[in-house]
Chains A and B, each alone.
Chain A
Amino acid sequence: NAGVTQTPKFQVLKTGQSMTLQCAQDMNHEYMSWYRQDPGMGLRLIHYSVGAGITDQGEVPNGYNVSRSTTEDFPLRLLSAAPSQTSVYFCASSYSNQGDQPQHFGDGTRLSIL
């Protein structure tokens, strides 16, 4: 049982480039979310999904897009990378309501934007 898998683990981009961070879970969880972790800031919610075809914005959604075409996958897209998006990105999933259940995290994608 792999849990939550994130790829890539590391990535360096130039300002203005685009990329997609992948997230997949094999636990049949309905709820999935993306966080960014910056020093001294804790984890901040970017976008989340309560099921296939349904997404919503979190605390810091600007500059990021998401889609949820299947239960298993929840990719995060950076359309035009900016240095302020240098961070560690975590994907998480939970069985049901994210405010009421433990979340399962991937090991993160460390993203640097030059």
Chain B
Amino acid sequence: SQQGEEDPQALSIQEGENATMNCSYKTSINNLQWYRQNSGRGLVHLILIRSNEREKHSGRLRVTLDTSKKSSSLLITASRAADTASYFCATGDYGNNRLAFGKGNQVVVIP
């Protein structure tokens, strides 16, 4: 089954810097989603990008999707301490009726 894989696995940055993380997958998809998980909490949906889209923005988040390389990136601009969390990509296939999650990427923003 398809599965997202995030890279790098862990990232530590200073507040105000940008944070970039990547996700690769193996099979054809209909969409790719990014989620955030704060410590001890459930996952929160951030953004969904469809296979016919190349870039999407939401506030300080920018997501790109390259279906030819089977990869996506999540950029958080002007990071804040509150952005400290784990970030997961998940690939969706309408026909499979499920999402396949990657292993997550831990981001620590130092005030």
Question: A102 near B33 (CB under 8 angstroms)?
Answer: yes
Complex: A50 Cα to B94 Cα, angstroms: 13
Assess A99 versus B103: contact at CB under 8 Å? Given A4-B42, A42-B88, A107-B41: no
Chain B positions 79 through 111: 1 when the CB is less than 8 Å from some CB of chain A, otherwise 0: 000000000100011111111011110000000
Complex: A40 Cα to B41 Cα, angstroms: 17
Question: A100 near B92 (CB under 8 angstroms)?
Answer: yes
Complex: A41 Cα to B44 Cα, angstroms: 18
Question: B103 near A41 (CB under 8 angstroms)?
Answer: yes
Closest-CB distance, A43 to chain B (whole angstroms): 4
Question: B42 near A48 (CB under 8 angstroms)?
Answer: no
Question: A99 near B33 (CB under 8 angstroms)?
Answer: no
Question: B42 near A108 (CB under 8 angstroms)?
Answer: yes
Residues on B with C-beta less than 8 A from A99 are 30-31, 92-99
Chain A positions 75 through 110: 1 when the CB is less than 8 Å from some CB of chain B, otherwise 0: 000000000000000101000011111111111100
Question: B98 near A105 (CB under 8 angstroms)?
Answer: no
Chain A positions 22 through 65: 1 when the CB is less than 8 Å from some CB of chain B, otherwise 0: 00000000010101000011111100101000000011000000
Complex: A23 Cα to B31 Cα, angstroms: 26
Question: A100 near B94 (CB under 8 angstroms)?
Answer: yes
Interface residues of A (CB under 8 A from B): 4, 31, 33, 35, 40-45, 48, 50, 58-59, 90, 92, 97-108
